[in-house]
Structure 1
């Protein structure tokens, strides 16, 4: 279903992961969102014989995730990209920076009414492009964009969760109140 609008962009760092579980930090807000783009890739192969395609197979590749925000506070940038904030407040970037795996969550207005809620489970962002431009007669804003790759979680092979708040099959609507309090997956249950 078509969406429009975007807000409440959050992230949570993966604290630990293995083939049996994934643990995230408490989600934090990034900054007001301008754009989130998820470009999924599928790799295909065809086996040909006797002048025809006999078999076709496909496998999902990493998805490219790009987020554009009005700002990228230095504490958020440091956490998402593995940079360092020095004691004097300076944001430092170095060759040895190592970005962690993170999840991002957000919601978009749905054309049917209500909102579509999303979590992308496992992304590693890379250093983005910075643009600075001189003032002109018509002001132009330069906003930060970072890009990364999304791959499946180690414990269950899942990549994303998407839920519309108008879905009649939702068994407990408090899930929408909790969406940004934790990374939601199939094991979510309401707080006791």
Structure 2
């Protein structure tokens, strides 16, 4: 799949999760998208005997996630990282901050036309590395990358969902109109 863009990033904090269900808060805009990268980890092992590989197996590990936006509003940063927005308008880091699990969704323009839509269901971010440099003759921007890990949901093992807006097998295209109204699941049906 050839993609040529990224926009409309949204996030939804997981409100409750158990072995039976996962519920999300209403999705909110995340910030102007620069990059959203997913790097799955697959661990492989081979059993060798008689000078050959007899068996091979693999297990999937957590997916490394990197998120870069032009900026994050303080309320979004607080939601993603478990920080506190103080009554005087400042945002502070505290030793007891605990980042919640969140879903992240968005869309990317597909080279074949239309958009690829996605939701990653369960990500936990860590505070970003911050770098600041003095101005030079050629302007450069410094933006922060949030790093985290995506792991399967507890109730059904689902990790992500995606859909191409030009896929003719998707008969109810209202899914794309509602993509950011709630976190889309595999059993989605249009709201009546």
Do they superpose with TM above 0.5?
Answer: yes
Sort the TM-score into its range (normalised by shorter chain).
Answer: over 0.9
RMSD: 0.7
- In the TM superposition, residue 133 of structure 1 has moved relative to its aligned partner by 1.0
- In the TM superposition, residue 144 of structure 1 has moved relative to its aligned partner by 2.0
What does residue 76 of structure 1 align with? 76
What does residue 121 of structure 2 align with? 121
What does residue 43 of structure 2 align with? 43
The separation in 2 between residues aligned to 1:45 and 1:147, in whole angstroms, is: 27
TM-score of the pair, normalised by structure 2: 0.98
Q: Deviations over 1:110-134 (max 9, x none)?
A: 0110000010000000011111111
The separation in 2 between residues aligned to 1:57 and 1:20, in whole angstroms, is: 29
- In the TM superposition, residue 25 of structure 1 has moved relative to its aligned partner by 0.3
Question: Structure 1 stretch 116-125 or stretch 47-56: which is displaced more?
Answer: 47-56
Question: Quick check: 1:72–1:144 contact (8 Å CA) kept in 2?
Answer: no
- Secondary structure at the counterpart of residue 61 of structure 2: strand
Q: What are the equivalent positions in structure 2 for 1:105-144 lying under 5 Å apart? A: 105-144=105-144
What does residue 175 of structure 1 align with? 175
Larger strand proportion, structure 1 or 2? 1
- Secondary structure at the counterpart of residue 14 of structure 1: strand
Q: Which runs of 5 or more structure 2 residues have no equivalent in the other structure?
A: none
- Secondary structure at the counterpart of residue 5 of structure 2: strand
State whether structure 2 residue 152 is matched by structure 1 residue 156: no
Q: Deviations over 1:6-31 (max 9, x none)?
A: 10000000001111111000000011
What does residue 18 of structure 1 align with? 18
Following superposition, which runs of at least 4 residues in structure 1 exceed 2 angstroms of deviation? none
The separation in 2 between residues aligned to 1:153 and 1:110, in whole angstroms, is: 27
Equivalent pairs counted in the alignment come to 192
The separation in 1 between residues aligned to 2:63 and 2:99, in whole angstroms, is: 17
TM-score of the pair, normalised by structure 1: 0.98
What does residue 33 of structure 2 align with? 33
